A and B are shown apart, each in its own frame.
Chain A
Amino acid sequence: MSISIANRILLGFAVVTAVLIALGLYATGQIGTVRDTIDRIVSRDLMVMRQLDDLGNKARDLGVQRRNAVISVLMREHGRSVPDEDSYVVWSRMAAATDGLFADLVRESAEFRQDAISVDRMAAWDRLNATLKQTLQVYNAYRDSSDAQLKAVVAKDFEKVEASNEEVSRLYEATIAGIERTRSALDGSVVAGQRGVAEVYEFSRFSILLTLAAGVLLSVIVTWAISRAVVRPVNEVAAFVERVGTGDLTGRIAVTGQDEIGRLGTTLNAMVGGLSDLARTNRSATADLNAAAAEIRASAQEQAASVEEQFAAVQETAATVDEITHSGAQISKRATDVIATAQASAQTARAGLRAASDTAKAMDLIREQGEAVAGNIVALSEKTQAIGEIITTVNDISERTHLLSLNAAIEAAAAGESGRSFAIVAAEMKLLADQAKAATVQVRSILSEIQRGINSSVMLTEEAVKRAATGKTRTDATVRTIEEMAARVDEGVQTFQQIVASTNQQQLGIEQVMGALQNIRQASQQTAAGTREVEMASANLTELAQGLMTLAERYRL
């Protein structure tokens, strides 16, 4: 259950006011009680005191009457004249009033004892009642003796009056003393009444003070409750608003409800939500702005770099074109030189053509002579073959001679001592055969060397003939080449003359290109200046975007 703040404060004031009213009513009641008590005590005590005074007066009047009667008797006795009056009747009336007064006092003291305000008062009334009763007994005795004396007075019985006067006076004194005691008992009752009134007063004061303390305590509790119910939510809201103020948009206040603080919390939540959305949008937009500014700056820097490169390229191009101009002039000069050199080459080529033709004829002669040498060598080779056959025959003969000598030696050995001389002949024959064989071996090796030499000579000669033929062919090709070369040189001369003309035209075109490059260079410088301005502007924009980013970073989402 939620109560609004105003209702809470009103409720607190109502409770405090009710407590104060109750306290006042109670105090008033207690004051009334004290006053009633005092009234009751004072009225009772005063009434009893007055009656006791009455009683004392009556008793004294009785005594005075009796004494007057006695005195009159005595006077008569002594012979004096005394007005005759009826003392006894007066005395009887007085005695009856005194009896009534005694009865009233006894009855009243019994009644007051019944509804006494305190135990002390009850005891006091008890003592008063008891004293009254004792006094009443004494009084009854006094009244009876007085009655008898007075009757004697009436009867003029002097003796009897005289005799009873002592007793009656003693009873009279006892009665007066009893009344005085009763009066003292009444004083004790008065003191007890004062004490009871003081008790009631003390009780009332204490209870009022206690109630006042309870009221103060209740007021404090009510104030604390109001403070607790009002100040704490307000403090929470204040703390939340302070957090929002420092930029913390992440939290939401927990205080909700139907009261004022709850509505304030709901409204603050909605407000912080809106602020959070706003800050988020702001942050993303700022980030986009920052990125866009950075891209603009980067592209501006790239553009500046490319413009610088373009400028440098234009400078290089201008330098290159200048070099081309110089080289074109050199080309023209060199081409003129080449034309002169080519014309000299054409003359040289014609001389070379004549020399090559002579060389071709010499080659033909060399080939014919080489062929003749080859034929001679082949004839020599055939002769060598014939010598080889002869050598084979000689070798066969030497072999047979070898065998023959061996057999002869064998036969000589078989013949014993008689064949010894024949053995010597056979040994000589064998020696000759061996020498002949060795000679044939040498001749055969020499012949094979000759044959190898002949073969290589034939091959070399044939090679020489072939090379002479090849040389002839090449010389013919050289002649044709030189002829072509001379024609080409003539063509080259014409081409270089065209080159010179083209180079002159190229020089004119290059001068125009130089003018265009100057224009491009000026435009590049202007572009570079503009790009630098764009770069500075984009740098400023980037700084602004970063400042916005820093501001947006204050808000935590």
Chain B
Amino acid sequence: MNETELYRSLLDERSAALAARGRVAREVAEHRDYLVCALSTERYGIALGAIATVLPERPCTVLPGAPAALRGIISHAGIIVSVIDLGLALGGTRGGGAGQSGHLLRLRTDGPALALAVDRVIRLASIEADAITASPAAGPHPGLGAEAVSGYAPAGSENDGVAGGFAIVDLPRLLRPFLP
């Protein structure tokens, strides 16, 4: 074994040690679970803990004088649930482009019962907290930011390796106009 090979083996060893250090740190990182929904061509992620159940879309009873984003009300399990169009609430266009294949997300709220209307619920996503890029307008805590989108999950940052990034919705900030 000459000197060059010894030097190369030492460098390889050192590189392997440096690579193993990052892998250990990532395994102990915190994971957050999101439900990824489709609105037209956009993808939005909603914190899994805030969702009670997923329902197939059904016709709503329209309320007169209601805000534009409030699509109407439905009856679910004996409770009146207000349906909020996520697209309109985010300042975009009205959802429902997928027709009858749309989904409603029943939320876990303390006050009135609310549901978010989305085009389709795609999948579950578990993202590392470090991989999330915070929005410049996001506040230090949920519900205090200037906009309803608090961050972005990059493509390929999930454990299961499913491709496609999405925007993370700050639900308290989004629902603030609709709650007392």
Q: Which residues of A contact B (CB under 8 A)?
A: 399, 403, 406-407, 409-410, 413-414, 427, 430
Contact = CB atoms under 8 A, between A and B. Distances in A.
A413 B54 contact: no
B52 A410 contact: yes
> Which 6 pairs, one residue from A and one from B, show the smallest C-beta to C-beta distance?
A406-B54, A413-B48, A407-B53, A409-B124, A407-B54, A403-B54
B79 to A, nearest CB: 17
A427 B124 CA distance: 9
Nearest to B33: A413
Nearest to A413: B48
B176 interface: no
Interface in B22-80: 33, 35, 48-49, 51-56
Contacts of B35: 406, 410
B56 A403 contact: yes
A410 B101 contact: no
Contact of A430 (B33, B49, B123): B123
B115 interface: no
Given A413-B49, A414-B49, A403 B103 contact: yes
A406 B103 CA distance: 11
B121 interface: yes
Nearest to A409: B124
Q: Is the interface of A mostly helix, strand, loop or mixed?
A: helix
Given A399-B101, A403-B103, A410 B123 contact: no
Nearest to A403: B54
B103 A410 contact: no
B126 to A, nearest CB: 10
A423 to B, nearest CB: 8
Nearest to A411: B53
A272 to B, nearest CB: 124
A414 B124 CA distance: 14
B76 to A, nearest CB: 13
A444 to B, nearest CB: 15
Contact of A406 (B33, B49, B101, B121): B121
Q: Is the interface of B mostly helix, strand, loop or mixed?
A: strand
A556 B135 CA distance: 125
Contacts of A414: 49
Interface in B129-161: none
Contacts of B124: 406, 409, 427, 430
Contacts of A403: 54-56, 103, 121
Contacts of A430: 123-124
A163 B170 CA distance: 235
Nearest to B47: A413
A429 to B, nearest CB: 12
Contacts of B121: 403, 406
Interface in B88-103: 101, 103
19 contacts: A399-B101, A403-B56, A406-B35, A406-B54, A406-B121, A406-B124, A407-B53, A407-B54, A409-B48, A409-B124, A410-B35, A410-B53, A410-B54, A413-B33, A413-B48, A414-B49, A427-B124, A430-B123, A430-B124
Contacts of B55: 403
A320 to B, nearest CB: 89
Given A403-B54, A406-B54, 14 more contacts: A399-B56, A399-B101, A403-B55, A403-B56, A403-B121, A406-B35, A406-B124, A409-B48, A409-B124, A410-B35, A410-B51, A413-B33, A427-B124, A430-B124
A43 B49 CA distance: 215
A277 to B, nearest CB: 119
Nearest to A427: B124
Most-contacted residue by chain B among A403, A406, A414 (CB, 10 A): A406
Nearest to A399: B101
A407 B77 CA distance: 15
A556 B105 CA distance: 133
B51 to A, nearest CB: 6
Contacts of A427: 124
Contacts of A407: 53-54
A186 to B, nearest CB: 193
Find the residue from A399, A410, A414, A430 having the highest chain B CB count within 10 A: A410
A376 B56 CA distance: 42
Nearest to B54: A406
Contacts of A406: 35, 54, 121, 124
A430 B36 CA distance: 14
A406 B123 CA distance: 7
A413 B103 CA distance: 19
A337 to B, nearest CB: 82
Contacts of A413: 33, 48-49
A211 B34 CA distance: 179
Contacts of B53: 407, 410
Nearest to A400: B56
Interface string B95-119: 0000001010000000000000000
B48 A410 contact: yes
A259 B51 CA distance: 162
Contacts of B56: 399, 403
A410 B54 CA distance: 8
Nearest to B160: A427
B167 to A, nearest CB: 20
B171 to A, nearest CB: 15
B143 to A, nearest CB: 21
B122 to A, nearest CB: 9
A224 to B, nearest CB: 143
A407 B51 CA distance: 9
Contacts of B51: 410
B3 to A, nearest CB: 53
